[in-house]
Amino acid sequence: MKWPLISLILVAALCGVLWRTELEWRWGWAGLSWAWQYYWAFLVGAVGFTSWAVSVAQPHRRLRFSFALMVMFALTLEVFWTLLQSLFTRRLGPPPDNIRQVIWFTVGLSPVLWALVPLMFGWICRWHGIRIHFGFHLLSSILFVASWPAAVWLLDVVDHRGGADLIHALKSGFVIPLLVVSLGFPLLAARRSA
């Protein structure tokens, strides 16, 4: 139990560091141009988490399980990207000047959608013979959504540049390790079906 937890924390921290490094290196801290770009850090993080999940859960069909997780990550990214762009282009004008609308989107609509990601992950696990108690699925969803306010609180505690809000929680990368850990923790108590 100890090594999977430590490795999950390491993968989560790496995902956050990669995100922040890529943001600073490619687009800089100022402005919102980072929000409309593709991140290699997302792909590397998805592969890292998938590798961790395969090594911990040890499903019977590792390749199929890996493929299903990568499809889940791609669909999740596409849904949120499409919703965010749709919100901006139809109702609110061009993206770079709409910080308040981004915050509204994150606060108003995304908790329901965010809660579905861990449930989808749990369903994929069950489909591949990895038994996770439904209570862990539910708790994972709650923690996944709670990662955002927790990251904002953490930003406020460390007095991070740019302020403590939902946009800076993502921009800074503080929320990413919390999301990764909350998504992966149900596998720590999972059992493989015979």
Contact by Cβ (8 Å): 80, 49: no
CA distances (Å), origin 82, targets 20, 90, 133, 164:
22, 12, 32, 26
The length of the chain in residues reads 194
pTM of the model: 0.81
Residue 91, pLDDT > 50, answer no
Residue 31, pLDDT > 70, answer no
Give the tens place of pLDDT for each residue, 131-150: 888 888 889 989 998 998 89
Pairwise pLDDT comparison (162 vs 20), residue with the higher score? 20
Cα within 13 Å of Cα(40), Cβ side: 5
